[in-house]
Structure 1
């Protein structure tokens, strides 16, 4: 077992990391080409499909590998070193099954059928929870996408945004508003006539995620496509367990930062400016920057994997760690951005070259700041919790304690004595 990565706890972790590294090496060969064109990397997903990656978080009893949260993070961090776009696109699929396997709120036969479709048919799935007008629906707003009950089933109409892997999705989990009932629900919608991919994804970073809009034009689905009602102030299928499986997002950006660090170390070892007469790796000012990278990387890994292990080890607190999860996402993604910035400063002007991968890492890592929960939402939530806690403490301190007839004796004891 390698002794330089203490996130690998045992031979099982090492085997998983090796598997992910092999996949990353394959997709890395064409990652730059897909980034340049903005085309969705269908060949990457065919490789992932053939190598069983789509079934990693599906329970073992349904033919999957049943990865834990910790193992999911290990896999995603390493796959992202080959292509951040591909890892992020796959991550939404793996995350969905992580949540459903942990705390299933759907009818079990529907979940079993979806698992079989992934294992046997290679279906790719995503949760579509963002709209141009309503924003990210996990922030609490109602969807503009609607579901209308008919004798034949539900009719779905609306448009979803930022639908990663849109060109390849075979089944989609969407949030829709049921007007007649004045509430929203989760629906499972297969790829079908009336569903149109609107190819409008053209971004600075994560260019090959295929995160186009998808329009649903009077799409008819059966009555059992309604999976779960979303109740106010209660966790949905994908906000349960403190949203811990969303940490796969942070793992992706940590992987991008690690790839930038590895490239920079190799560059520093080989780049020998005539003015120095030795590799820049030996320059004290470069070593200080490398030390800062290692500090940020180590802190991010410790926080991310330490939280995942605590979440798994103590089931009684799994539903009370949402702020810790958000703190980890914020810290890891911001550390990742800073790591790549420092790497760019070490490499210097060469870092801007499209012939080197560092400028792609720089563009891709910025996107972590825009994946939910975003920085402002995390900080606002932490502040509100601290303020509420302080107010409650102040009220408690101002409330006089029950008087005791006997000095020095608690009122409860005094009452018994009486």
Structure 2
């Protein structure tokens, strides 16, 4: 079987980094029988992630990282997702956030240096906690109900955050809150061991169960004023290339479904046929359709990633392109998994096969930001303005 990654690995550096992702993917896949039904993130997989020094890869060499390009970041994330999409999406948030903080310089230098040093030396893991029950996705512009009230040299933070991927495995949370004193939204860097922090085991979803995206509860958490590391900019947000880790994840799930569907077709032979079903015309049609869909999705995503890397002066104009990649790739990934399910037939619904998990997981991509309606509206406005 042709490995779809071969054409995207361009040099020895890519190969060396890719092998890290392969080892993580292998461990992640081995843990799926536990992580998916129990809706947990595997300690063993996280151990391998840290052994591979994966959390520090997007840091610059000055901090001990590999200074991953966007292209390389997506290549590695897609491979991990082939093993388990939940693991890829979860750790992708950490790497993307560190990449954003490094490149966009959103924090004071000493605050970033402190976190980067711990990530590089101890492979600590961080994620933003932004989504809330009442506000939904922060991309829709809702003001957090989580509040930070100034009390001398401290802030007292109270609230609840949902969709906190790897909630019980993170070393730090970057928590958004409405800062009453400033009348604006701020972000606080909070150590996982801080008094008043707890994780409420609420995660019980159809797909991407292994992200363990439980609720983070803040009950009068007292932090230093210096832990306010970021405030929401009043300027229009700049395009964020690192968010392409989202479509890369779902493309990896689709690639895994494609691989297993082909293997199934080559080996399954009902007693009504003299050959495996791979020789049947309508099965070959479905395989061919999967192939051209994946070729298009890969080409689109990696072409845009290369443009981001090679033409930094164009990044401020790439918002619509980035959003279009997310829309196109996540929808294509769902279509590919659906074709794989049709190849497997009724067996695709069985827990004995991986297809039903791919089917559940890939649909989560349709609900990650940016949403399809927002992307279509953005593209329409751009076209009309031109």
When normalised by structure 1's length, the TM-score is 0.89
Q: Which runs of 5+ in 2 are unaligned?
A: none
How far 1:154 moved relative to its partner?
Answer: 1.8
Alignment partner, residue 306 of structure 1: 303
Distance 1:99 1:4, change over 3 A: closer
Contact kept? 2:139, 2:370, Cα under 8 Å: no
Contact kept? 1:69, 1:98, Cα under 8 Å: no
Alignment partner, residue 133 of structure 2: 132
How far 1:224 moved relative to its partner?
Answer: 1.3
How far 1:233 moved relative to its partner?
Answer: 3.3
2 CA distance for matches of 1:156 and 1:34? Answer: 32
1 CA distance for matches of 2:24 and 2:5? Answer: 21
Distance 1:107 1:212, change over 3 A: same
Name the larger-Rg structure. 1
How far 1:4 moved relative to its partner?
Answer: 7.0
Contact kept? 1:257, 1:337, Cα under 8 Å: yes
> 2:366 aligned with 1:386, yes or no?
no
Alignment partner, residue 114 of structure 2: 113
2 CA distance for matches of 1:329 and 1:177? Answer: 29
Map of 1:224-239 to 2, 5 A cutoff? 224-235=226-237
Alignment partner, residue 160 of structure 2: 159
> SS in structure 1 opposite 2:16?
helix
Alignment partner, residue 40 of structure 2: 39
> 2:350 aligned with 1:353, yes or no?
yes
Q: 2:285 aligns with which of 283, 288, 300?
A: 288
More displaced 10-residue stretch of structure 1: 165-174 or 336-345: 165-174
Distance 1:111 1:180, change over 3 A: same
1 CA distance for matches of 2:381 and 2:196? Answer: 43
Alignment partner, residue 396 of structure 1: none
> SS in structure 2 opposite 1:355?
coil
Alignment partner, residue 337 of structure 1: 334
When normalised by structure 2's length, the TM-score is 0.96
Contact kept? 1:87, 1:252, Cα under 8 Å: yes
2 CA distance for matches of 1:311 and 1:274? Answer: 52
How far 1:39 moved relative to its partner?
Answer: 2.2
CA-atom RMSD in angstroms:
1.5
More displaced 10-residue stretch of structure 1: 2-11 or 102-111: 2-11
How far 1:152 moved relative to its partner?
Answer: 2.8
Contact kept? 1:158, 1:217, Cα under 8 Å: yes
Structure 1 runs of 4+ off > 3 angstroms? Answer: 384-387
1 CA distance for matches of 2:38 and 2:137? Answer: 27
How far 1:141 moved relative to its partner?
Answer: 2.1
Alignment partner, residue 169 of structure 1: 170
Alignment partner, residue 220 of structure 2: 218
Q: Deviations over 1:374-417 (max 9, x none)?
A: 11221122233334x16xxxxxxxxxxxxxxxxxxxxxxxxxxx
Q: 1:279 aligns with which of 272, 276, 280?
A: 276
> 2:214 aligned with 1:251, yes or no?
no
